[in-house]
Amino acid sequence: MRIAIIGHGKMGKGIEALAHQKGYEIKAILGRKDKIADLDPNEIDIAFEFTIPGIVSQNLLDLSKLGIATVCGTTAWGERAPEVREAFKASGGKLFFSTNFSVGMYLTQIAIRDLAKQLNRVGGYRPNLIECHHTEKLDMPSGTALRIGEIILEEFPQLTKIAEANKMPGHTEIGVLCFREDDTPGTHTVIFRSDLDDISVTHAAHNRKSFFAGAMSAAEFLHKQPSGIYRMEDLINDLS
């Protein structure tokens, strides 16, 4: 594969190293001052977009115009997700996006959904979220925490939304505690609390290798797919 890396932070550098190991050709590495419009779509099979919330939406729109298949892991652009999806569909492009590229985290989310469904059926439990990331992570709560919250909301219809980070949740809100510590790849915990007991589910990344590997697997998967919008469940189904 011929690769472009947009954003050369921790994820970008990890993908770069893994691409070299796999023998893929890196055609471009773009920083904040570089222009996506300068990329040659005829020379690039896959672009990785791992930048920051403030610029990701425009980057994706620019990539859709060029028709470059894109793997995106930048979070906090949900409000413009319909616009981005429509742009890739209109151009006949390919987009794979996820808030977290760890296969273990995806499987944890499946477990959380099943548990939430059963606990809501039993009754008496109240869910809360805790997440911890490195100090350079800008969005709070994390995109993964928000996704977990969305899953719980789907199974707890009596709850209406996710509370603001580190704010006392309202009666129909899911509370979220957020911490930022040095060199913490990402830890997410869901606690279902009742008067009788607590039930918790935690996913703790030991390092970023699972994120790099997951993003590369997504790129390899996307490379062989027809045009469309893809998520982690598509990759997992393909692996099985």
3-state secondary structure 106-175: HHHHHHHHHHHHHHHHHCCCEEEEEEEECCCCCCCCCHHHHHHHHHHHHHCCCCCEECCCCCCCCCCEEE
CA distance 142 to 135: 12
- Out of 94, 117, 137, 206, the active site residue is 137
The reply to whether 13 belongs to the active site is no
> Given strand 228-230, what is the order of strands in its sheet?
25-30, 2-6, 46-49, 70-72, 94-97, 228-230
Q: Which helix (H) or strand (E) holds 95?
A: strand 94-97
- Out of 10, 33, 94, 133, the active site residue is 133
Token reading at 118: 């059963």
The reply to whether 137 belongs to the active site is yes
CA distance 59 to 201: 35
Please identify every residue annotated as catalytic: 133, 137
